[in-house]
């Protein structure tokens, strides 16, 4: 590893022949474009103190890491508050049943897995599920018994189920057979999985998307994910996931029929051409107002950058889902531009006791050691599929070990490895889990230390304390100066 990560070789590789500045610790503080107050609170507390400290000021470099591009989509018009993707514009198909996953008549399956096979979807507008369906290989009837279950993906609880038998095979529509169910309402935001099971040599499923007929969102009523799943035990939510890009209809297995849930007494007002045009005008007006907000934000950032030389602008759209790329670009910038021993990553809502951390580097004798990752780690942490930590790309049920978000230290060799491989590293849902996945290939030496906080708990010897408002940061700093304890003076 020493040969691969040798700093001089790295600089030669990148064409950097000048002697770079040298630091012991380079600190990157992840910060959003609009978080002016948070950055100022840190400048008035631990950041400002460190830069003015007679010893620390010469050994450290501190940069706020800010995305150079704002998200041009107003918050109300985004798919969620964490990304910069436009929300689904629903122009629903009304008063008719829609088949979600379609298979052409006569399609033949060659997949004999008898455990559950599922595909995931999300509801964008309330729908009523009216029938469940199952793939009928060769469209020639059910030979044994097949079962289709609709699951709530979050709770993994069964919502609906239907059995298909030789005597009661259901109605053939296309290449699937359907049976009615007690009509069930799925609300907006519902995350589900449609699962078929008990396939066999006599009743095979299909795992060839090329023979499937696609899917029907009903004008945006539902969205289909590229995550498919399988399991071993029947009647149990299938926990194993796989992802095939551009293949949202991976299995010929289960399907369902649904329709939009609307109040038909007002439907004429809700979805008329005039109403849809009015919604479009409202979106246009929100976009204009948001543009004015972004102009003010840009001017404030320019003023801030003229006053302080502590903001590193990196080329990403500044939203939560892009935090992995923000951090990776910081590591690349550090590796390219300076000589250093360690990096420290933290957030702009974190109190950091920097002098204790520097002392800890010495006390733990971490200097000169390779592949060192010092923090408090989460191990075997379950992968979440909804909410802020929604993960659609990493299909294992748990993550490799990763550092808590409040702070962690990497040795220079690990940072250079990340920088050298930046173009080939795939970002996942958050920066901390992404670094854990990336570095798992190297088997870093994890130095677990409970002084790196994972939550708002505060102990006298803590290194970091996250999730603080600007005034809380100032209060903690005042307490540290007054009595040496950021958690409060008794």
323-352: pLDDT as tens digits: 999 999 999 999 999 999 999 999 999 999
The answer on pLDDT for 112 being more than 50 is yes
Contacts of 490 (CB under 8 A, 6+ apart): none
Q: Tell which CATH classification among 2.60.40, 1.10.1740, 1.10.287, 2.60.120 matches the domain 98-260.
A: 2.60.120
Q: Which residues of 258-281 are buried (b: 16+ CB within 10 A; e: fewer)?
A: bbbbbeeeeeeeebeeeeeeeeee
pLDDT at 337: 96
* Alpha carbon distance 360, 87 (integer Å): 46
φ, ψ of residue 279 to 5 degrees: the values are: -65, -40
The answer on pLDDT for 269 being more than 80 is no
- Of the pLDDT bands very low, low, confident and very high (cuts 50, 70, 90), residue 270 is low
CB 241 within 8 A of CB 229: yes
Average pLDDT on 276-301 reads 93
369-410: pLDDT as tens digits: 999 999 999 999 998 877 788 887 888 889 999 998 899 999
- Of the pLDDT bands very low, low, confident and very high (cuts 50, 70, 90), residue 4 is very low
Q: Is 311 helix (H, G, I), strand (E, B) or coil?
A: strand
**Residue 303, token pair as written in the block:** 């003023």
Average pLDDT on 412-417 reads 98
The answer on pLDDT for 250 being more than 90 is no
CB 179 within 8 A of CB 149: no
The answer on pLDDT for 3 being more than 70 is no
Residue the block writes with tokens 């469209």: 139
- Report the C-alpha dihedral over residues 159, 165, 167, 173, rounded to 10 degrees: 80
Instruction: Return left, alpha or beta for 125; rule: phi > 0 is left, psi -120 to 50 is alpha, else beta.
Output: beta
88-109: pLDDT as tens digits: 877 888 889 999 999 999 999 9
Contacts of 262 (CB under 8 A, 6+ apart): 92, 94, 126, 270, 271
pLDDT at 249: 63
Q: Where are the domains of the chain?
A: 22-74+293-483, 98-260
Q: Is 415 helix (H, G, I), strand (E, B) or coil?
A: helix
Instruction: Quote the mean pLDDT of the chain.
Output: 90
Class of CATH domain 22-74+293-483:
alpha beta
* Residue 189: DSSP 8-state: T
pLDDT at 413: 97
- Of the pLDDT bands very low, low, confident and very high (cuts 50, 70, 90), residue 5 is very low
Shared fold status for 22-74+293-483 and 98-260 = no
Q: Is 315 helix (H, G, I), strand (E, B) or coil?
A: strand
The answer on pLDDT for 246 being more than 80 is no
């Amino acid at each position: 590893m020493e040969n691969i990560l040798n700093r001089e070789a790295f600089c030669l590789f990148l064409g950097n022949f000048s002697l770079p500045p040298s630091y012991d610790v380079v600190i990157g503080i992840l910060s959003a474009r609009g978080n002016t107050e948070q950055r100022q609170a840190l400048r008035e507390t631990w950041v400002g103190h460190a830069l003015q400290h007679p010893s620390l000021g010469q050994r450290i470099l501190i940069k706020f890491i800010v995305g150079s591009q704002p998200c041009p989509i107003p918050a109300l018009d985004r798919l969620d508050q964490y990304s910069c993707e436009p929300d689904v514009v629903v122009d629903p198909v009304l008063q008719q049943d829609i088949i979600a996953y379609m298979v052409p008549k006569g399609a033949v399956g060659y997949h004999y897995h008898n455990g559950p096979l599922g595909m995931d979807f999300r509801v964008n507008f309330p729908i009523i599920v009216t029938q469940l369906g199952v793939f009928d290989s060769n469209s020639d009837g059910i030979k044994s018994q097949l079962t289709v279950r609709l699951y709530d993906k979050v709770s993994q609880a069964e919502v609906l189920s239907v059995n298909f038998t030789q005597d009661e095979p259901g109605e053939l529509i296309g290449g699937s057979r359907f049976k009615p169910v007690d009509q069930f309402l799925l609300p907006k935001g519902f995350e589900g999985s449609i699962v078929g099971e008990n396939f066999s040599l006599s009743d095979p499923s299909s795992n060839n998307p090329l023979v499937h007929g696609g899917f029907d969102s009903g004008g945006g009523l539902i969205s289909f994910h590229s995550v498919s799943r399988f399991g071993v035990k029947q009647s149990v939510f299938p926990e194993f996931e796989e992802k095939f890009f551009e293949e949202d209809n991976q299995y010929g297995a289960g399907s369902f029929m649904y329709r939009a849930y609307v109040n038909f007494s007002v439907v004429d007002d809700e979805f008329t051409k005039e109403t849809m045009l009015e919604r479009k005008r409202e979106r246009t007006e929100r976009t204009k107002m948001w543009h004015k907000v972004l102009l003010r934000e840009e001017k404030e950032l320019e003023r801030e950058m003229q006053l302080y030389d502590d903001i590193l602008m990196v080329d990403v759209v500044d939203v939560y889902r892009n935090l992995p790329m923000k951090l990776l670009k910081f590591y690349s910038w550090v590796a390219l531009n300076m000589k250093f021993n360690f990096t420290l990553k933290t957030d702009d809502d974190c109190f950091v006791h920097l002098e204790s951390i520097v002392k800890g580097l010495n006390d733990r004798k971490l200097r000169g050691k390779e592949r060192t990752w010092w923090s408090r780690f989460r191990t075997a942490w379950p992968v979440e599929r909804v909410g802020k930590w929604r993960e659609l790309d990493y299909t294992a049920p748990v993550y490799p070990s990763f550092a808590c978000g409040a702070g962690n230290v990497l040795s220079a060799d690990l940072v250079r490895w990340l920088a050298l491989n930046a173009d080939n590293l795939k970002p996942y849902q958050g920066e901390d889990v992404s670094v854990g996945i990336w570095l798992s290939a190297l088997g870093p030496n994890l130095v677990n230390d409970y002084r790196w906080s994972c939550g708002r708990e505060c102990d006298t010897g803590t290194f970091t304390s996250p999730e603080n408002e600007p005034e809380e940061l100032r209060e903690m700093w005042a307490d540290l100066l007054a009595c040496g304890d950021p958690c409060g003076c008794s």
